[in-house]
């Protein structure tokens, strides 16, 4: 059994219920596995908002809730001395609150900055995947069925953005969610296997605005926009909306694109070699006769 959390960015609405539930579970008292999480300054479930876009005309955000990823081969464990970080049989990575005293290098080792330094106790701290709760016989007795157990953040999410379960069981809810969605691992983790899996984090968009010739002072509604990837040959088609804007989301990263814009009665427009190294607004383009 390998316990994990899947996080669907597309479903996250930044309500902070998961963050608050984590605080409720871990602030104010110690558990068997961790010292109390401070009220301020630590974000075991960190609701990260990525600002996207390179133009004030087109700004978007992606919400990426980020706890510890419970890595298969954790960098924090390698950096720790005297067994201060250990991995349980179910894959959950735990920082021992006693053995880790003074070991600030554990904070620095995490590639996604999921470990926080507690000045008062002089220890590193992070998400425990609520293992102390999952292990608690009273909690399991209350639930009646061990399959119902969930970390507090997962239990609290009102929008089904979080899944929990056994990653080794292909029939578990979490395994089905991972199979049905696009896995979008955090780049800093460099492809290593983790028990926390991010889903549907958007990659890159290209966008622009199409205008009729300048003298009309009007946008072109319904212009056909075709994006062609020079590396893979795939095409994406869209049309400009009521405001003359077009946008294609989730494009492959670091590829080169040609963009063709057609509108009946006007000369076609073309952009060449647009690179998807970042979210990019290609600009306002004016049609000519």
- Give the interface with ligand SF4 as residue ranges (CB under 6 A): 12-18, 21-22, 25-26, 44-45, 47, 65, 67-71, 74-76, 93, 110, 112, 114-115, 126-130, 151-153, 156-157, 159, 161-162
- Is 128 or 285 the residue whose CB approaches ligand SF4 more closely? 128
Work out how close the CB of 179 gets to ligand SF4 at its nearest, in angstroms, rounded to a whole number: 20
CA-based nearest residue to 18, from 84, 66, 70, 69 = 66
- What is the rounded CA–CA span in Å between residue 71 and residue 114? 11
C-beta of 251: minimal distance to ligand SF4 in Å?
24
Least spacing, CB of residue 278 vs ligand SF4, in Å:
24
Angle at 91 between CA 66 and CA 175, to 5 degrees: 70
What contacts 22, CB < 8 A, 6 or more positions away?
A: 37, 44, 45, 67, 127, 152, 153
Report the residue number, 160 or 272, with the smaller CB distance to ligand SF4: 160
The rounded distance, in Å, linking the Cα atoms of 141 and 50 is: 40
Helix/strand/coil percentages in the chain, nearest 5 = 20, 35, 45
Least Å from the CB of residue 142 to ligand SF4: 17
Closer to ligand SF4 by Cβ: residue 194 or 209: 194
Q: Which of 216, 270, 281, 215 is nearest to 246 (CA)?
A: 281
Nearer to ligand SF4, 161 or 197 (CB): 161
Least separation, in Å, of the C-beta of 206 and ligand SF4?
A: 27
């Amino acid at each position: 059994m390998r316990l994990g959390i899947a996080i669907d960015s597309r479903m996250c609405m930044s309500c902070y219920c998961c963050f608050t539930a984590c605080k409720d579970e871990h602030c104010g008292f110690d558990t068997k596995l961790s010292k109390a999480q401070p009220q301020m300054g630590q974000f075991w479930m960190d609701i990260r908002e990525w600002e996207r876009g390179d133009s004030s005309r087109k700004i978007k955000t992606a919400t990426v809730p980020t706890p510890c990823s419970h890595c298969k081969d954790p960098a924090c464990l390698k950096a720790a001395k005297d067994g201060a970080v250990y991995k349980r049989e179910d894959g959950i990575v735990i920082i021992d609150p006693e053995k880790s005293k003074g070991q600030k290098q554990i904070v620095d080792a995490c590639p996604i900055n999921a470990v926080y330094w507690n000045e008062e106790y002089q220890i590193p701290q992070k998400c425990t995947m609520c293992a102390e709760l999952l292990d608690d016989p009273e909690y399991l007795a209350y639930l009646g069925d061990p399959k119902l157990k969930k970390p507090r953040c997962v239990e609290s999410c009102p929008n089904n953005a979080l899944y929990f379960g056994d990653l080794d069981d292909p029939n578990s809810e979490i395994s089905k969610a991972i199979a049905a969605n696009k896995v979008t691992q955090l780049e800093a983790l460099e492809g290593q296997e983790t028990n926390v899996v991010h889903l549907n984090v958007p990659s890159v968009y290209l966008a622009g605005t199409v205008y009729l010739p300048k003298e009309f002072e009007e946008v072109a509604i319904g212009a056909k926009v075709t994006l062609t990837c020079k590396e893979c040959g795939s095409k994406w088609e869209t049309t400009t909306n009521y405001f003359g804007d077009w946008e294609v989301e989730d494009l492959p990263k670091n590829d080169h694109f040609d963009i063709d814009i057609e509108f009946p009665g006007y000369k076609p427009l073309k952009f060449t070699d647009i690179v998807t190294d970042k979210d990019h607004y290609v600009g306002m383009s004016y049609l000519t006769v």
